[in-house]
């Protein structure tokens, strides 16, 4: 099979028929063998009823439904587990991603040899309240991660099959799939300018809180990428440095006390000095950080997969 198209969706009943027709048209025009996997992330509208009709009409359409809303990352993770195509394309269900970009993305993977290609909505039809924070977010992500992409969170992406089988998308990490891909050892990452469509039906499912969550997730993925498998390198180093600073400060205070006693110079009790308590606090915090690093090493060596999602229905899988 040439292509697997994965479409996570939540309350997108109005757009599904048009989306499936559009994808099917592009695939047939280019002679691709394909499957279209629709993942209903616990929709509260008639999305599942529409999906059932689509699967009866077209054997290329497959579907999966969660019992409740887990989020886009969970939908992508489950979708990646079930894909069979040599190239995997992800796109949103709101018709803002253009299916006519699929052939170009496919050829960048197959002919140009990329492991992963991210879309770049260079010209967007979103309000400034969405585009300006997005630009700031993407610039920050480029600086922190070192990956030179303009649009980390574009829904339109292409992957080799072995890439999606090697990454684990969890929490809200769909925003940082390029980082997950690089972390998995796939360094041939590309970018393609793609057309952005105006939203035709409904309204966006994401509020301003996504930017706060995005920043926190960026810190999380940066830590996991650098220290996920070796937390002792971070916590142990910080703990050792802070403990030594506290220990040396306490040693200096004790040495000063002995010096004054030896020369019979009046000197207050060590415990009366505020530096004693600062030194003691540093040693306690340093010890705690070191223990945290040690425990982190134990957890990282024995932890199992964190993803536990409850699937309600599947069709054609």
- In CATH, what number is assigned to the domain containing residue 168? 3.90.550.10
User: Within a domain: residue 214?
Assistant: yes
Q: Of 227, 244, 268, which residue sits at a domain end? A: 227
**Are residues 153 and 99 part of one domain?**
yes
User: Within a domain: residue 282?
Assistant: yes
Q: Of 209, 227, 245, which residue sits at a domain end? A: 227
User: Within a domain: residue 314?
Assistant: no
Let me know: does 43 contact 13? Beta carbons within 8 Å.
Answer: yes
Q: Which domain holds residue 183?
A: 3-227
**Are residues 268 and 192 part of one domain?**
no
Dihedral through CA 25, CA 34, CA 85, CA 122, nearest 10?
10
**Are residues 258 and 149 part of one domain?**
no
The number of domains in the chain is 2
User: Within a domain: residue 312?
Assistant: no
Q: Which two three-digit tokens encode residue 7?
A: 């479409």
Distance between CA atoms of residues 179 and 146, nearest Å? 9
User: Within a domain: residue 308?
Assistant: no
pLDDT value of residue 305:
46
Q: What share of the chain is helix, strand, coil (3-state, %, to 5)?
A: 55, 15, 35
Q: Which two three-digit tokens encode residue 152?
A: 């980390």
**Are residues 250 and 212 part of one domain?**
no
**Are residues 177 and 32 part of one domain?**
yes
Q: What is the mean pLDDT of each run of 10 residues along the chain (317 residues)?
A: 95 94 96 96 94 94 94 93 96 92 96 95 72 76 84 92 91 84 90 85 61 68 70 88 94 86 78 87 94 83 56 75
**Are residues 196 and 141 part of one domain?**
yes
User: Within a domain: residue 133?
Assistant: yes
pTM equals: 0.73
**Are residues 242 and 208 part of one domain?**
no
Of 266, 273, 222, 221, nearest to 250 by C-alpha is: 273
Buried-exposed string 159-198: b where 16+ CB fall within 10 A, e elsewhere: bbbebbebbebbbbbbbbbbbbbbbbebeebbbbebebee
**Are residues 208 and 136 part of one domain?**
yes
- 265: how many CB neighbours lie within 10 A of its CB? 8
Q: Is 29 exposed, middle or buried (0-12, 13-18, 19+ CB in 10 A)?
A: exposed
**Are residues 245 and 210 part of one domain?**
no
User: Within a domain: residue 309?
Assistant: no
User: Within a domain: residue 249?
Assistant: yes
**Are residues 221 and 279 part of one domain?**
no
Let me know: does 287 contact 33? Beta carbons within 8 Å.
Answer: no
Distance between CA atoms of residues 131 and 136, nearest Å? 9
**Are residues 236 and 218 part of one domain?**
no
Q: Of 170, 194, 227, which residue sits at a domain end? A: 227
**Are residues 250 and 116 part of one domain?**
no
């Amino acid at each position: 099979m040439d292509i697997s198209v994965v479409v996570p969706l939540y309350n997108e009943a109005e757009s599904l028929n048009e989306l499936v027709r559009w994808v099917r048209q592009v695939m047939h025009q280019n002679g691709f063998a394909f499957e279209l996997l629709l993942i209903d992330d616990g929709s509260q509208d008639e999305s599942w009823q529409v999906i059932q009709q689509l699967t009866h009409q077209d054997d290329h359409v497959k579907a999966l439904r969660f019992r409740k809303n887990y989020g886009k990352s969970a939908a992508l993770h489950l979708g990646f587990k079930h894909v069979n195509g040599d190239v995997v394309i992800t796109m949103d269900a709101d018709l803002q991603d253009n299916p006519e970009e699929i052939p170009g993305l496919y050829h960048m993977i197959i002919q140009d040899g990329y492991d992963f290609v991210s879309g770049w909505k260079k010209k967007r039809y979103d309000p400034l309240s969405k585009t300006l924070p997005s630009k700031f977010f993407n610039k920050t992500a480029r600086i922190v991660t070192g990956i030179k992409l303009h649009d980390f969170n574009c829904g339109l992406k292409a992957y080799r099959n072995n890439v999606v089988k090697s990454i684990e998308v969890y929490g809200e990490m769909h925003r940082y799939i390029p980082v997950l891909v690089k972390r998995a050892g796939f360094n041939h990452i590309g970018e393609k300018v793609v057309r952005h469509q105006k939203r035709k039906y409904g309204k966006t499912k994401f509020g301003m809180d996504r930017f706060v969550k995005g920043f926190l997730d960026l810190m999380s993925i940066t830590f996991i990428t650098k220290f996920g498998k070796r937390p002792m390198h971070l916590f142990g180093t910080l703990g050792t440095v802070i403990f030594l600073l506290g220990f040396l400060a306490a040693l200096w205070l004790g040495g000063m006390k002995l010096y004054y006693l030896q020369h019979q110079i009046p000197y207050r009790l060590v415990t009366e000095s505020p530096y004693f308590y600062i030194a003691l606090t540093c040693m306690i915090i340093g010890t705690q950080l070191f223990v945290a690093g040690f425990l982190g090493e134990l957890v990282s060596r024995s932890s199992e997969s964190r993803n536990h999602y409850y699937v309600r229905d599947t069709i054609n899988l």
